[in-house]
Amino acid sequence: MNHFIELLNLQENAAVISLFGALLVIGVVIFLIISASKSEDKEEATRKVYKLRSRYLWGLSGILVILLIVSLGSTPYHRESQVADEVVSVVGYQWLWKMAPGAYDKSLAQFNGKDEITLPVDKTIEFIVTSNDVNHNFAIYNSKGYIVAETQAMPDYKNNLYYTFKEKGDYKVLCLEYCGLAHAFMEGTIHVK
């Protein structure tokens, strides 16, 4: 069961799943073109399309029910401990991240963070995340490029993200909410030691 869930790991298999979906759509389109080019009367063609559509609906519903049953065992998702060993303040700006140890509650314009920070392994970190301007999304990626934690960075609002780094290394911080021209270059680094 767990192995099957691993196979369904979307991050790892996104390309394969997309390819499969695209081939399915191409197949259906080719089928429709072939069946439409035959000299059938209109009624017969309509009947075929309706039949195909209902098969598609039931097929898709079946797949969704199976996915629901298979994935039900892994919910609710494991919650990180809510008792923090260390607190880090994070502020998103167009277009950079600033991070600093401790809770910060003064003017964001004067926030003295950096785009990199060093944090301990195996300690629960509470990230207090906000934004100085527009909505951003604070996302932490491990060295393999997998997302390990994320939360929205919103102006005038603080989101608390708890995460325990289990492995040492450099984690990349990226923005997951389109926030303007240089959105893709909003990078930060968390060194876990």
Q: By rule CB under 6 A, what string of x and - marks binding of each residue 70-99 to ligand CUA?
A: ----------------------x--x----
Segment lying near ligand CUA (by CB under 6 A), choices 66-74, 115-123, 154-162, 173-181: 173-181
Please report whether residue 172 would count as binding ligand CUA according to CB under 6 A.
no
Can you tell me the distance from the alpha carbon of 117 to that of 99, in angstroms, rounded to the nearest whole number?
Answer: 7
43-51, 80-88, 160-168, 179-187 -> range binding ligand CUA (CB under 6 A):
179-187
Q: Is 186 strand, coil or helix?
A: coil
| Region for residue 145 given its phi and psi (left: phi exceeds 0; alpha: psi -120 to 50; beta: otherwise) | left
CB of 188 to ligand CUA, least distance (A): 11
- The size of the interface with ligand CUA (CB under 6 A), counted in residues, is 9
Name which of 176, 190, 193 is nearest 100 in CA terms.
190
180: alpha, beta or left? (left if phi > 0; alpha if psi -120 to 50): left
* Minimum distance, C-beta of residue 179 to ligand CUA, in the bound complex (Å): 3
Rule CB under 6 A: say whether 183 interacts with ligand CUA: yes
Instruction: Choose among 145, 110, 103, 146: nearest CA to 125.
Output: 103
User: Collapsing DSSP states into helix, strand and coil, what is residue 30?
Assistant: helix
- Contact between 136 and ligand CUA by CB under 6 A: the answer reads yes
CB of 150 to ligand CUA, least distance (A): 12
Round to whole Å and give the CA distance between 170 and 172: 7
- Contact region for ligand CUA (CB under 6 A) — 23-31, 58-66, 81-89, 178-186? 178-186
Asked whether 43 and 37 are in contact (CB, 8 A), the reply is no
Contact range with ligand CUA by CB under 6 A, out of 25-33, 46-54, 66-74, 172-180: 172-180
Report how far apart the first and last C-alpha atoms of the chain are (Å, whole number). Answer: 34
Residue from 139, 175, 190, 192 binding ligand CUA (CB under 6 A): 175
Residues that bind ligand CUA (CB under 6 A): 92, 95, 136, 175, 177-179, 183, 186
